[in-house]
């Protein structure tokens, strides 16, 4: 059993194996991106990490997985998407957010756009127990809001929601 407030220097899969099933509410991590760095010969077992994360995450718990792809031979590797799909195959729900970095980002070749973002996959084991979305402050709505949506058959449906009160304006997923 692991002690709280103690640092352990062990393989992450081995460390998670010491945790009880469904004992973790939240994990925030930024794992290695492809093979872009040399970690002194250490290997990283993505599938082992993913399987253990699913096992130790509580029902309603969340994993924030911040990841990107390297560009190789003119193409992104797509590893981040494969990881998200693997998590979904395990049973996690997935919402994609984009973390926009400050500055210019990774400046690789002049043949491609510079990478100024990373994916933040918000993985939940069922419906999240806690949601604390960031907001842009209160906005005064007057006379209602018109929302346009497409129905299943492709027709546009306009909904009007009447309101004359202060509402929190929730931020978008970027």
Residues 19-51 pLDDT 10s: 999 999 999 998 888 877 777 777 889 999 999
The owner of tokens 């004992």 is 23
Q: What percent of the chain has pLDDT over 70?
A: 81
Domain with CATH 3.40.50.150 in the chain: 12-130
Close Cβ partners of 113 (under 8 Å, ≥ 6 residues apart): none
173 by DSSP, 3-state: which?
coil
pLDDT number for residue 150: 72
- The pTM of the full predicted model, rounded to 2 decimals, is 0.77
pLDDT number for residue 89: 98
Q: With 60 as the cut, is the pLDDT of residue 163 above it?
A: no
Q: So what's the architecture of 12-130 in CATH? A: 3-Layer(aba) Sandwich (3.40)
């Amino acid at each position: 059993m692991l002690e709280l407030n103690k640092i352990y220097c062990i393989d992450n899969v081995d460390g998670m194996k010491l945790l009880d099933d469904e004992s973790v509410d939240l994990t925030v991590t930024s794992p290695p991106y492809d093979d872009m760095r040399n970690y002194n010969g250490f290997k990283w077992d993505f599938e082992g990490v993913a399987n253990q994360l699913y096992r130790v995450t509580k029902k309603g718990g969340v994993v924030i997985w911040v990841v990107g792809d390297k560009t190789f031979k003119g193409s992104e590797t797509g590893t981040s998407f494969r990881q998200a799909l693997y998590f979904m195959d395990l049973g996690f729900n997935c919402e994609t957010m984009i973390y926009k970095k400050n500055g210019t980002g990774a400046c690789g070749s002049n043949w491609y756009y510079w990478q100024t973002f990373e994916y933040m996959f918000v993985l939940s084991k069922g419906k999240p127990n806690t949601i604390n979305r960031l907001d842009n402050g209160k906005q005064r709505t007057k006379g209602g809001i018109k929302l346009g949506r497409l129905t299943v058959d492709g027709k546009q449906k306009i909904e009007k929601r009447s309101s004359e009160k202060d509402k929190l304006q929730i931020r978008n997923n970027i």
